[in-house]
Amino acid sequence: MDWSDPKYDELAKQDFLRSEIVADLRAGRYDRVHTRFPPEPNGYIHIGNAKAIWLNYCIARDFGGKFNLRFDDTNPVKEEKEFIDSIIRDVAWLGADCEGRVFYASDYFQQMYDWARDLINKGKAYVDDLSADEISQHRGNLTTPGRNSPWRERPVEENLDLFERMKNGEFPDGAKVLRAKIDMAHPNMNMRDPLMYRIIHAPHPHAGDKWCIYPIYDWAHGLEDSIEGITHSMCSIEFENHRPLYDWFLIELGIYKPRQIEFARMNVSYTIMSKRYLKMLVGENRVSGWDDPRMPTIAGMRRRGYPARAIQDFLERAGIAKKANTIAFELLESCVREELNRTAPRLMGVLNPLKVVVENLPEGHSEEFDAVNNPEDPAMGTRKVPFTREVYIEREDFMEVPEKKFFRLAPGREVRLRYAYLLTCDSAVKDSAGVITELRCHVDLASRGGNAPDGRKVKSTMHWVSATESVPAEARLYDRLFTVEDPSGEEGKFLEHLNPDSLKVLKDCRLEPAATNLRAGDRVQLERLGYFAADQDSEPGRLVLNRTVTLRDSYTKGK
RNA sequence: AGUCCCGUGGUGUAGAGGUUAUCAUAUGGGCCUUUGGAGCCUGUGACGGCGGUUCGAAUCCGCCCGGGACUACCA
């Protein structure tokens, strides 16, 4: 590879990560690029994780390198097979292709064990009998140095023996740990004789019951990277203080050392990114599951109808830096709309049907109009939409006493039924409670197709469906899950900010007949209403649509 | 309080000693429209502060202020 090629100057300009990598390559510190995404399988991945996935994948791709998916499965009590499966699925769906390189840290446990023995032999690690509480007390705090454990100077042979017996299951959980011998007075707390192994008698989702001692992150992570030949180990900013330790282990062991570089994790307004909190939402049934369309998870967004390409676009537009940041949820929605506007076929559907009787059409009247599938893409063709004497319009599209700036249907007012006719409302019929039950209207027969021969204009074009030749559907309308920009601002209070109206279910929607072709996952635009995705809960004859995002709306916005 | 990191429009981001300080999103106005969509035009809006270096500083240096991470047998 010729890293002096000017094309790498361009890459270097994209963000500080690529810039650092180009510098490393040109200085000869590494001769290739190999990245990884190392999730712990303790939950579904969310949009924040997606940033790490996408950036690691794209950087490898840009430099002609490789990208690994690796499970950092070092804590069996928190990890599950379901999460392993979901992560593999979601990473692939997102578009980050690891070319089948799926690894498990737990497959490296033997090697890690051997290296731990090396460290013991070098007098750089020891078995500690202190309890968790005692260790914590000995650690000191931010301003005061820690104290050495009484077991710190155990002879090498004894450490070796004890460590082996820990591995063999001779001790209960918590009885002993293996620690690195560094410096209990180090200003960086992470360097105060960090733990390397703890005893956990629990089955592991990948390794089974092979082990009862498990490596801790700081000890394990660099080794995993080293084993896989990772060149640049990019992680979020909270690991910055861990980098000295990452380096320390690899240097003491004398093995290949990748470079850890930290970037700021991404927050998105009106949602949360903490896996612990997301888990709580699922556990307490505040949402229907990890894939609830309101969740910031990849599975949730997929079900909601967000295209992978839109998420990628969002991630790229959000950029990479080290500054704490909160990306506007509106940017995500904007990316979703942009993608869907290009790709989603249009359909007409009525969420809240209001019957319209076209009185100057004969009983049993039926005809068809051609409708454009996507005005942004003529190649998507047209379809037929049936029109009959009775149609449904959106209840919101009629006002008996129209307010200012409302220019849809009202008594005596003429509007266009898209693709069909110009329609004028003659009267509204009400029930005993005063609720409007139907509209009596007439159309201008000369306006077939939507334009009157005299060229007169109407202020509004409305969507509609035939009352008799339409199909029923349920629509699930989603709003932001939280009512405040930063729900996790105060520790533990995020549940108080849950939006009680984040889900609204409409069960009596009507869609034009073409909707019968929709299958779970298909995305459409319901004209004037927004983008919708067919949900997996759909049944034959009963479609369930998730509203992905509304259309931009300058009418309600102005109010 | 100790160590480390970070401060550019509301939000996010570009900027590498000389620019009318980039772009996106959001927001105001207008045009166009058989989706109050899309598109097009346009307005508002930022270098945390103070010193220093320099002919010249968002950019280099110092101090201050502000924000973040770390005190798990989590990752």
At A315-341, the pLDDT tens digits run 999 999 999 999 999 999 999 999 999
Q: Sheet harboring A346-347: ordered strands across?
A: A346-347, A523-526, A530-534, A543-550, A471-478, A503-511, A349-350
Q: Which nucleotide minimizes the distance between its C1' and the CA of A235?
A: B75
Please report the pLDDT score of residue A541 as a whole number.
87
Q: Which nucleotide minimizes the distance between its C1' and the CA of A369?
A: B34
pTM for the model stands at: 0.96
- pLDDT band for position A554 (cuts 50, 70, 90): confident
3 state DSSP class of A411: strand
Burial of A415 (0-12, 13-18, 19+ CB in 10 A): buried
| Per-chain mean pLDDT for chain A | 96
DSSP code of A135? H
Please report the pLDDT score of residue A480 as a whole number.
95
The bases of strand B with some atom under 7 A from any protein CB are 1-8, 10-16, 24-29, 34-39, 67-75
Pairing of strands A436-443, A366-372: unpaired
Please report the pLDDT score of residue A558 as a whole number.
58
* A38-56 mean pLDDT: 97
Q: Which residues of A85-111 are buried (b: 16+ CB within 10 A; e: fewer)?
A: ebbbebbeebebebeeeebbbbebbee
pLDDT at A491 over 80: no
- pLDDT band for position A492 (cuts 50, 70, 90): confident
- pLDDT band for position A488 (cuts 50, 70, 90): confident
Distance of CA A194 to the CA centre of its chain: 33
The type of residue at A435 is V
- pLDDT band for position A242 (cuts 50, 70, 90): very high
Q: How far is the CA of A448 from the C1' of B32 (A)?
A: 24
pLDDT at A489 over 90: no
pLDDT at A48 over 70: yes
The type of residue at A419 is Y
Q: How far is the CA of A187 from the C1' of B67 (A)?
A: 22
3 state DSSP class of A222: helix
Please report the pLDDT score of residue A490 as a whole number.
72
Residue length of chain A: 559
Residue A354: enclosing H or E segment and its boundaries?
Answer: strand A353-358
> In terms of Cα–Cα distance, which of A534, A553, A503, A520 is closest to A349?
A534
The predicted-structure confidence for A419-429, as pLDDT tens digits, reads as follows 999 999 999 99
Inter-CA distances, A155 with A120, A129, A176, A382, A436, Å: 9, 14, 16, 82, 89
